[in-house]
Structure 1
Amino acid sequence: MTADTVTTIGNTLVQHGRLSDRIYVMHLSPADLPEVLDDLDALAQRERYTKIFAKVPASALSSFIARSYVVEARVPGFFRGREDGYFVAQFLDVGRRRASGDLAAVLAAVREKAGDARPAALPSGWTCAPAAEDDADDLAALYGEVFATYPFPIAVPGYLRETMAGDYRYFVVRTEDGRLAAASSAEIYPDDENVEMTDFAVHPDFRGQNLSSLLLLRMEEEMRAAGLKTAFTIARALSYPINATFARAGYAWGGTLTNNTNICGGFESMNVWYRSLEE
């Protein structure tokens, strides 16, 4: 199955496709309201998608609520550090509303780790640094090994190079002998002054060394220096390690996106975590 595709409706950026069986409004242009809501409905009906979800500013929320969207998560100061953001969803199939797995148990367990940042250091000779184009082949191989499915084609070197030229910044941990041990990316939304901390992958040979925490800390330093106001992630809700990484780093839980993403071979619910970079 091919990866979902990214396109625009008016000036609104959307991702959609069969893989995650959904439409994702990645960046809403408020000027497109209310017509864009009709366009989203028409696209969902034509393709028979079972979910539409969107990131919207508080000032646009009422337009979505009036069209039967529900709030799944909230992030204070999401837009330019000033306006709250909401993750809203319209479910077009009743089965899509029913989450599987004990999401509450994972959330409760990681919340006990809130703010409990564990100091970690790279082994001697290892590096943690922004990635360059030359890293794309190794990055793609790592992502292909770690993720059976993913909503973006991150196992394709050409896609990684293309996004590097845009608003994505990849980060890599390499061993003393140059092996790629772990990676992540920061997806920057310049107009909104926020950044999604995402695409965390650790090679099976190097797990248990807090490499994701080290990558997150390095990304925060870079994104804060770039003037971004809010960092967030959309993490697999049943994955204890990645949720614990963000909880320990002082991120707050914003909500859960039900049956949101096809990742690692099936549909999963996702937790939204966030923190201000201005603190």
Structure 2
Amino acid sequence: MQPDAVINLGNSVVQHGPANDRVYLLKLDTDDLPEIVDEVYELGREHGYSKLFAKVPAGEAAHFAARGFIDEARVPGMYKGKCAGYFMSKYLDQNRAVPKDIGRITRVLDCADRKSPTPKDEIDTHGVVRLKQENAGELAALYDAVFESYPFPIQDPAYIRQAMRDHVIFFGIVEDGRIVAAASAELDKSWRCAEMTDFATLPDHRGRGGAGKLLARMEKSMQPLNIRTAYTIARAESFGMNIVFARAGYSFGGTLHNNTQIGGKLESMNVWHKEIPAS
């Protein structure tokens, strides 16, 4: 499946395309307000997408609410540690606004809510390493083995190398000389936040706490970078990933309905967030 395109509208960054069937305002430049809201709508209408999606500071949310966007999730302190970040959506097809399996989503959250946080000193991060440009080929192969499809082209070594040069730090668990699990921290230094994402583990290495180890190592690496808030957008029907973040002390911020195409289908996503203490 062809990945969605990432383009500029004014000085803002937008992803759009048929894979996720949406327009996603990834990075808002406030100088583009208020016109950017209508430009996102027109882009969605022109291509017949069923959802518009925007990540915006709380102070700018009114521009989007006035055009019919609703906030599906909030992350306190996401914007420079000073105010919340809002994930706002507008549905151009109301069928997409209804989660496919709300019962399972509820069960996942109930299960995650019952999990007690794991003390950091009990998490062994031995074997977790920061990956480099020369690991891009093996890393892409791991993602290709784990995901049938993904919202960003992480199965492409060239994309991974470019992401590393730009703003993404990849980490991996290495056993017997090969990468068996990986994840990334996507930095937004202007907002002073990071998205903990791209978790993947080879099938024969699952059930060993790898995701929790990766997350603990990534959090530690954020402190000297002056990152104040970590968050994730996790598959809402996945018991495993939601439990990983609950155990790591993250708080639930909301559910994004039918938001992201993974593995050949649209999935609802849960937002989790955590304050990163100053180093």
Indicate the TM-score class for this superposition, using the shorter chain for normalisation: over 0.9
Is residue 76 of structure 1 aligned with residue 79 of structure 2?
Answer: no
Q: Distance in 2 between matches of 1:68 and 1:222?
A: 38
**Is the Cα–Cα contact under 8 Å of residues 123 and 216 in structure 2 kept in the other structure?**
no
Amino acid in the other structure paired with 1:216:
L
Is residue 121 of structure 1 aligned with residue 121 of structure 2?
Answer: no
Question: Which residue matches 2:99?
Answer: 99
Secondary structure of 1:149 counterpart: coil
Q: Distance in 1 between matches of 2:40 and 2:116?
A: 38
Q: Distance in 2 between matches of 1:198 and 1:28?
A: 20
How far is 1:5 from its partner? 1.4
**Is the Cα–Cα contact under 8 Å of residues 57 and 85 in structure 1 kept in the other structure?**
yes
Task: Render the CA deviation track for 1:94-148: whole Å, top value 9, x for unaligned.
Answer: 11011012211111111111424583436xxx62111001111110111001111
Q: Distance in 2 between matches of 1:100 and 1:117?
A: 35
Secondary structure of 1:165 counterpart: helix
Q: Distance in 1 between matches of 2:159 and 2:58?
A: 33
Residue correspondences, number: 275
Q: Distance in 2 between matches of 1:29 and 1:248?
A: 34
Unaligned runs of 5+ in 1: none
Amino acid in the other structure paired with 1:31:
D
How far is 1:30 from its partner? 1.4
What is the TM-score when the length of structure 1 is the normalising length?
Answer: 0.96
Q: Distance in 2 between matches of 1:230 and 1:202?
A: 25
Question: Which residue matches 1:9?
Answer: 9
**Is the Cα–Cα contact under 8 Å of residues 73 and 86 in structure 1 kept in the other structure?**
yes
**Is the Cα–Cα contact under 8 Å of residues 120 and 210 in structure 1 kept in the other structure?**
no
Amino acid in the other structure paired with 2:228:
K
Q: Distance in 1 between matches of 2:64 and 2:185?
A: 28
Question: Which residue matches 1:231?
Answer: 230
Question: Which residue matches 1:215?
Answer: 214
What is the TM-score when the length of structure 2 is the normalising length?
Answer: 0.96
Within a 5 Å distance, the mapping from 1:11-26 to structure 2 comes to: 11-26=11-26
Within a 5 Å distance, the mapping from 1:124-135 to structure 2 comes to: 127-135=127-135
Q: Distance in 2 between matches of 1:268 and 1:201?
A: 17
Question: Which residue matches 2:41?
Answer: 41
Amino acid in the other structure paired with 1:12:
S
Q: Distance in 1 between matches of 2:124 and 2:83?
A: 36
Question: Which residue matches 1:112?
Answer: 114
Q: Distance in 1 between matches of 2:242 and 2:192?
A: 23
Within a 5 Å distance, the mapping from 1:233-248 to structure 2 comes to: 233-248=232-247
Within a 5 Å distance, the mapping from 1:116-195 to structure 2 comes to: 116-117=118-119, 119-121=122-124, 127-175=127-175, 177-195=176-194
Q: Distance in 1 between matches of 2:66 and 2:246?
A: 33
Q: Distance in 2 between matches of 1:259 and 1:29?
A: 26
Unaligned runs of 5+ in 2: none
**Is the Cα–Cα contact under 8 Å of residues 96 and 258 in structure 1 kept in the other structure?**
yes
Q: Percent sequence identity over matched residues?
A: 43
Secondary structure of 1:253 counterpart: strand
Question: Which residue matches 1:63?
Answer: 63
How far is 1:181 from its partner? 1.0
Q: Distance in 2 between matches of 1:69 and 1:219?
A: 33
Q: Distance in 2 between matches of 1:116 and 1:132?
A: 29
How far is 1:208 from its partner? 0.7
How far is 1:7 from its partner? 1.1
